[in-house]
Amino acid sequence: MPAEKLFWDQPYRTELTANVTTVAGSTVTLDRTIFYAFSGGQEADAGTIDGRPVLEASWRGTEIYYTIQGTPDLTPGTAVITRIDGERRDRLVRLHFAAEIVLELVYQLFGRPLKIGAHIAEDKARVDFLWPGRISDVFAVVLPEAQRIIGEDLRIVSAFSDRSTERRYWQIEGFARVACGGIHPRTTGEVGAISLRRENIGKGKERIEIRLARRSGADPPHALAIYPPGYVCYIAHAERPAKDSQEASMSTKISDQELSELSQGELRRLVEALEEELEDVQMERSMTLGGTGVHIGAKEAERMRNEFDRDEARIETKLEQARRHLDEVTE
Ligand SMILES: [Zn+2]
């Protein structure tokens, strides 16, 4: 039995008594744990087990292995106390979700550009995209929209999508449902005010850096003060492409020339992104046209069917090309 992971449901718990289940040298497993190991871009916690610093925490399947400093005198069944650095955890959780919100807004409002990297550290988070031009062009829309979502203190559901493989997702009603095994806050308000910074990390590659603004009960969140709700709605809607004119994602617009310049890792991410996108279109089609309570006229249904056909064909074509390029660089 892999350890029961309490960090998912108790994101701010910093101390736990657990039993050792296996020992190999100075590496142990536990029957329950609050100590997160690096995954999905989120850095591991820092802390101690049985009073000794944890040097490394790593996943193997659904189990987490902890390597402890020194040669601990532990055997299976020994009860130990785990303590984690609560301030570090707090920042990791808030930055993680700030990155989730920003990423989702860029996806939803700017045609799903290809994400080529992400990392959540204690001082800042970053998300990298294939992006022509300056990604900071989106900040005027994304930052106030993110702060609106944070300001509304929306409930975040985090749960298993598959309990046996411990696959998880988070969901905000009316905003997004995203697969992720990281640790999430309970409401968006816990994130607090954020700031964004742009960095160019190579030709056609842009990074959004996300930081937490100082959190103090006395100060109103900086960004919220600048962007009152009315303003947020105005620019978000003014620049959001209308559903009808919304083209398929930027990933599907990558030219053959651009494809040939991508690295193996980038091609792999592109293939994954296109596969996900195809799934999204198919899910949207079945929800819209599959008779799940959405009533639209025959004419409208016909128009939407054509639109879905066109989107699917476009994604499939690009997926084929991307897979072919990936095969070429893999050989
Ligand atoms: Zn996440």
pLDDT at 189: 94
Backbone angles phi, psi at 232, to 5 degrees: -55, -50
Gap between the Cα atoms of 286 and 284, Å rounded: 5
Q: How far is the CA of 130 from the centre of ligand 1 (A)?
A: 21
How many angstroms separate the alpha carbon of residue 309 from the centre of ligand 1?
A: 31
Q: How far is the CA of 129 from the centre of ligand 1 (A)?
A: 17
The predicted pLDDT at position 227 comes to: 33
CA 181 to chain centre: 9
Average pLDDT (21-33) is 96
Segment among 86-90, 96-100, 210-214, 318-322 with least mean pLDDT: 210-214
Structure tokens given for 128: 């990298």
> 289 CA to middle of ligand 1, Å?
30
Q: How many CB atoms lie within 10 A of CB 298?
A: 7
Contact status, residue 58 vs residue 45, Cβ threshold 8 Å: no
Closest CA to 273 of 202, 322, 233: 322
Distance 265 CA to ligand 1 centre (A): 21
Compute the distance from residue 327 Cα to the ligand 1 centre, in Å.
30
Report CA(143)–ligand 1 centroid distance (Å): 19
Q: What angle do CA 37, 12, 99 make, to 5 degrees?
A: 65
- Work out the average pLDDT over 231-257: 49
What distance in angstroms lies between residue 9's CA and the mean position of ligand 1's atoms? 13
pLDDT tens-digit readout, 45-63: 999 999 999 999 999 999 9
Report pLDDT for 253.
Answer: 79
Cα of 211 from ligand 1 centre, angstroms? 16
When mean pLDDT is compared across 84-93, 103-112, 236-245, 299-308, the lowest value belongs to 236-245
Looking at residue 230, its pLDDT comes to 32
Surface-to-core class of residue 154, CB atoms within 10 Å of its CB (0-12 exposed, 13-18 middle, 19+ buried): middle
Cα(166) to centroid of ligand 1, in Å? 14
Averaged pLDDT score across all residues of the chain: 84
How far is residue 296 from each of residues 288, 289, 303, measured CA to CA in Å? 9, 8, 11
Look at residue 24 in the predicted model and tell me its pLDDT: 94
151 — pLDDT class (breaks 50, 70, 90): very high
Instruction: Please give the distance, rounded to the nearest whole angstrom, from the Cα atom of residue 242 to the centre of ligand 1.
Output: 28
> How far is the centre of ligand 1, averaged over its atoms, from the C-alpha of 131 (Å)?
22
Beta-strand relationship, 79-84 and 47-49: antiparallel
pLDDT of residue 295: 53
CA 152 to each of CA 13, 42, 158, 234, 238: distance values in angstroms, whole numbers, following the listed order: 25, 25, 18, 17, 21
Residue 22, Cβ neighbours under 10 Å: how many?
A: 13
Lowest-pLDDT range of 142-156, 258-272, 283-297: 283-297
* Separation of CA 139 and ligand 1 centre (Å): 21
Q: Which one, of 31, 182, 38, 175, lies nearest residue 108 by Cα?
A: 175
pLDDT in tens, 75-115: 999 999 999 999 999 999 999 999 999 999 999 999 899 99
Q: Above 90 in pLDDT, residue 299? A: no
Q: Measured in angstroms, how far is the CA atom of residue 193 from the centroid of ligand 1?
A: 18
Residue 317 C-alpha to ligand 1 middle, in angstroms? 30
Whole-number Å distance between alpha carbons of 26 and 29 = 10
> What are the distances in angstroms from CA 188 to CA 96, 116, 158?
11, 25, 12
**Ligand 1 centre and the CA of 170: distance in Å?**
7
Which two tokens mark 170? 């988070």
Distance CA 208, CA 223 (A): 17
* Ligand 1 centroid to residue 181 C-alpha, Å: 6
Q: What pLDDT was estimated at residue 156?
A: 97
CA of 101 from ligand 1 middle (Å) equals 9
Distance (Å) from CA 39 to ligand 1 centroid: 10
Which residues are found with C-beta within 5 Å of the ion, ligand 1?
100, 180, 182
Average pLDDT value for residue range 202-216: 83
- How close is the Cα of 178 to the center of ligand 1, in Å? 8
